[in-house]
Amino acid sequence: MKTLDIDVAVIGAGSAGLSAFRAAKAKGASVVLIEGAHYGTTCARVGCMPSKLLIAAAEAAHAARRTAPFGVHIDGAVRIDGAEVMARVKAERDRFVKFVVESTEGLPADERLIGYARFIDDNILQVGDDTRVHAKSTVIATGSTPFVPAMYQALGDRAIVNDDVFAWDDLPRKVAVIGAGVIGLELGQALAWLGVEVTMLGARGRVGPLSDPAIKNHAHEVFSEAFHFEPDAVVEAATREGDNVHLRYRDGAGVVRDETFDYVLVTAGRRPNLDKLALLNTSLEIDARGVPVFDAATLQAGRHPVFIAGDANDVLPLLHEAADEGRIAGENAAHVALDAQGELKPLVRRAPMSIVFSEPGIAMVGARFVDLAVDSFVTGEVSFEDQGRSRVMLRNRGMMHVYVDKASRRFVGAEWIGPDAEHIAHLLAWTLQMGLTVDNTLAMPFYHPVVEEGLRTALRSAAAQLANG
């Protein structure tokens, strides 16, 4: 048995783990990075990047079908070669993964271990069968895995998760998407635009991350143009029939429907990868989800020398959040390991932002509509149906609500669906993080003609309501 004495052990070589490793090392700690499977982040392998590659192909197909209103006519039907689509997705995905793998493998060999780690106690880890790590502190950054309810597990390889989509060699004929969250909406629309017959079965009226009823209803209408969308469905049975899946579900009106699909794509959320860690061997307090109870500011699990960052803590499963959390967890783990003086460093989160890479895009910045105190804010509104630049490009679909606090006149949040949402979201996130008022924001320059003029209209709407008391 090989024994390694170290200051900080980082479990997981994803975005949070790599950030934690670098931060702890920068503080002067001896560090080891432990990875159970393979190098390459969730984002690069099965998340952000391959999904955007599929979406890019879908947007090209969608644009090609919509040239006639401009007076540009393409003779014949748009032909989509599913094998070529997936070949590019996988080739470019592998290129992104290669960069991440090379970067990780560029770390000193004696600072990396391959093998699943499990706790022997709070300070001792067993890695694989032949290595024991004695660590003064540990960072858990093991990421997350798609959750598949038991009903669909019985379907074998006909029930897939987003990871599996990017292993396809060709596009299927017909797919049911279970779940109308961010991943479901992005992949569902992309597949539909690439010629796949898609039925999306959501639950409890969910449409992505949206909580504002008016914006949610508008988004439902928009997505229903691309595929059959049931946001209030209840799946009653799922059975395997050869290489097909038969679903029986009740739609929002209570009507029972029976359909057969090539695949069921389950996008029912993700769960932290903690089951292999043997956390019961530690003195950590574990919550109902199986996640160690930790301080939201320092990411420390109680008073123990254990920190948890990234998707593993199940707070904000986004790459930039994981990197920020990993950095703070690594610094604080080094602080504990080196018996440094002073308090642990708190995590200062950036302005919250959520983006769905659909067309039109969905975005949310700051406080959600449902979390704001009634009568504490005004709602500025704009429709993109007649917004100048949006109409010029024939991308004039969408609606935006911005929320402005009545007392301080500060921008506090927004929810919307509309063109270039991913870019406007950054402007509003900066506005929120800088604590700007609606007046400060309207004093900023707005060029003409740009989609951002729609944001100005919404802000003017909010300012007018404040002026009217």
Which residues neighbour 255 within 8 Å (Cβ) at sequence distance 6 or greater? none
User: How many angstroms separate the CA atoms of 352 and 209, rounded?
Assistant: 12
Which residues neighbour 97 within 8 Å (Cβ) at sequence distance 6 or greater? 40, 44, 45
User: How many angstroms separate the CA atoms of 431 and 413, rounded?
Assistant: 10
Q: 408 to each of 157, 379, 465, how far by Cα in Å?
A: 54, 14, 14
User: How many angstroms separate the CA atoms of 209 and 368, rounded?
Assistant: 9
Q: What is the DSSP letter of 410?
A: B
pLDDT confidence of residue 42? 87
Instruction: Indicate the SS3 state at residue 304.
Output: coil
User: How many angstroms separate the CA atoms of 21 and 31, rounded?
Assistant: 7
* Residue 440 backbone phi and psi in degrees, to 5: -55, -45
Tens of pLDDT along the chain (469 residues) come to 899 999 999 999 999 999 999 999 999 999 999 999 888 888 888 899 999 999 999 999 999 999 999 999 998 889 999 999 999 999 999 999 999 999 999 999 999 999 999 999 999 999 999 999 999 999 999 999 999 999 999 999 999 999 999 999 999 999 999 999 999 999 999 999 999 999 999 999 999 999 999 999 999 999 999 999 999 999 999 999 999 999 999 999 999 999 999 999 999 999 999 999 999 999 999 999 899 999 999 999 999 999 999 999 989 888 899 999 999 999 999 999 999 999 999 999 999 999 999 999 999 999 999 999 999 999 999 999 999 999 999 999 999 999 999 999 999 999 999 999 999 999 999 999 999 999 999 999 999 999 999 999 999 999 999 999 7
Report the amino acid identity of residue 272.
P
Q: 32 to each of 126, 292, 334, 340, how far by Cα in Å?
A: 13, 22, 12, 20
Q: What are all long-range contacts of 74-81, with beta carbons under 8 Å and residues at least 24 apart? A: 80/171, 80/194, 80/195
pLDDT confidence of residue 77? 86
Beta strands at 131-140 and 124-127: parallel, antiparallel or unpaired: antiparallel
Report the amino acid identity of residue 30.
S
User: How many angstroms separate the CA atoms of 334 and 330, rounded?
Assistant: 6
Which residues neighbour 281 within 8 Å (Cβ) at sequence distance 6 or greater? 118, 119, 120, 121
pLDDT confidence of residue 211? 98
Q: Which residue has the tokens 């007018």?
A: 464
pLDDT confidence of residue 75? 86
Beta bridge partners of 119: 125
pLDDT confidence of residue 254? 94
pLDDT confidence of residue 120? 97
Structural element, H or E, at residue 42: helix 42-46
Structural element, H or E, at residue 53: helix 48-65
Which residues neighbour 360 within 8 Å (Cβ) at sequence distance 6 or greater? 222, 384, 395, 397, 398, 417, 418, 419, 421
Torsion angle of the four alpha carbons 86, 88, 89, 94, in this order, in degrees rounded to the nearest 10: 120
| pTM of the predicted protein model | 0.95
pLDDT confidence of residue 1? 85
Cβ burial of 297 (10 Å; 0-12, 13-18, 19+) is middle
Q: 78 to each of 62, 75, 89, 189, how far by Cα in Å?
A: 9, 9, 19, 17
pLDDT confidence of residue 101? 94
Instruction: Indicate the SS3 state at residue 43.
Output: helix
Neighbours of 105 (CB within 10 A): 10
CA atoms within 13 A of residue 68's CA, in its CB half-sphere = 7
One-character DSSP codes across 174-237 = EEEEE--SHHHHHHHHHHHHTT-EEEEE-STT--TT---HHHHHHHHHHHHTTSEEETT-EEEE
Torsion angle of the four alpha carbons 310, 313, 318, 323, in this order, in degrees rounded to the nearest 10: -20
From the list 431, 433, 434, the residue with the least C-alpha distance to 462 is 431
Tokens standing for residue 301? 């699990």
Structural element, H or E, at residue 432: helix 421-433
Q: What is the DSSP letter of 352?
A: P
Q: Is residue 152 within 8 Å of 238, Cβ to Cβ? A: yes
Instruction: Indicate the SS3 state at residue 5.
Output: strand
From the list 102, 104, 128, 121, the residue with the least C-alpha distance to 21 is 104
Structural domains in the chain, CATH included, are 2-145+271-337 (3.50.50.60), 150-269 (3.50.50.60), 353-467 (3.30.390.30)
